[in-house]
Structure 1
């Protein structure tokens, strides 16, 4: 019940912000419980899924002021300036057939590279092609439930712990990724060098 009240408080707060900013009086937002708890700001506000406000694959991130919010890429998604969109790392996205989008270690701009597996949603993991989301390749972590996915901190393929918490569950979710610095690697803010404006 305590968690449900916190969700309702966030929804009311978002409604007030949207009304104050004349964005929309009918928008509803949902806290993204599967995302990183460390993304909350100093007032304990957390990113919110706002499909009427943010483009696809973006969340509404809080700043330090009551009315300070910004749309940016979800964790493990990359901002692609040419398409002005966020795309999942290690998937085709805006790339040609048999390519996927990655973020080179020495860059803030993602690039398209050849997918060695030759099929979208397949990646090299432990020396062989595995489908993103596959739990069999991460069975060695049992009893922890994990799947092949993109680590949101390193933007590398890894076994990523799955959060099986219900959105309306009683308990608080367990954070699934850690975040370093003010911006996620590959985010729109990182590409546009606006990390110092988001104080999380």
Structure 2
């Protein structure tokens, strides 16, 4: 079933890209998972990683019309007009040494600010300098696996749930953690109690 969805997505993107002047032999696309469910289009179409069509750090996003597709920044990336590129938020990108790119709450244009952690790829989380992608500070979210990252909706540093959905095939569901009824994990909702 998943293979059929991918084939249909590739055919639609192929037809749309052909209308935009891209040669079919240059088209290889990979469906992406939409991290922000509030921006899904009415047809539930999926953004596609299409390097022959979109610039670096951009995905091919579907609009609300059948042939409406546009390249735009990946989730948790911001568009930087002076360089005409998308860059990851809270990383150095086009900024000088010891600074990173952020989107101020009162602006649509990102700016470079001093990185309090000094090292690129490190951000302040819970008053500590943590490496982006580190899972240790997010262990409180277990059994859900999360890592320090940039929330794609709010563009703030937080523990972001990791998505292990396969792009190419259906994987078996990971079973819930099972524990004895009445234990601390059961009461706090961190596992599913065994029922006899």
Q: Same fold (TM over 0.5)?
A: yes
Deviation at 1:38, TM superposition (A): 4.5
Q: Once the two structures are superposed, what CA deviation does each residue of 1:110-149 show, in whole Å capped at 9, x if it has no partner? A: 0000000000000000011000000001011111100000
- How many residues are aligned here? 172
5+ residue gaps, structure 1:
174-200
Q: Which has the higher contact order (CA 8 A, sep 6+)?
A: 1
RMSD over aligned CA atoms reads: 1.8
User: Distance in 2 between the 1:22 and 1:152 partners?
Assistant: 31
What's the offset of the Cα at 1:83? 0.3
- Which range is displaced more, 105-114 or 10-19? 10-19
Q: Report if aligned partners of 1:41, 1:63 keep a CA contact under 8 Å in 2.
A: yes
Provide Cα deviations, 1:52-83, integer angstroms capped at 9, x if missing partner: 10001101111122222111101110100000
Closer, same or farther: CA 50–74 of 1 in aligned 2, 3 Å: same
- 2:58 match: 58
TM-score, normalised by the number of residues in structure 2: 0.82
Partner in structure 2 of residue 164 of structure 1: 164
Distance 2:37 2:30 in 1: 14
1:94 aligns with 2:94: yes
Q: The residue matched to 1:140 in structure 2 has which SS? A: helix
Aligned residues of 1:146 and 1:161 also touching (Cα < 8 A):
yes
Q: Provide closer, same or farther for how the CA distance between residues 16 and 7 of structure 1 changes in structure 2, counting only shifts above 3 A.
A: same
Structure-1-length-normalised TM-score:
0.81
- Does structure 2 retain, via aligned residues, the 8 Å contact 1:3–1:172? no
Report the equivalent of 1:81. 81
CA distance in 1: counterparts of 2:72 and 2:112, whole angstroms: 21
Report runs of 4+ in structure 1 exceeding 6 Å deviation: none
Tell me the CA shift for residue 171 of structure 1: 5.9
Q: Shift of residue 97 of structure 1?
A: 0.4
Correspondence 1:21 to 2:20: yes
For the Cα contact (< 8 Å) 1:78–1:86, is it kept in 2?
Answer: yes
Partner of 1:140: 140
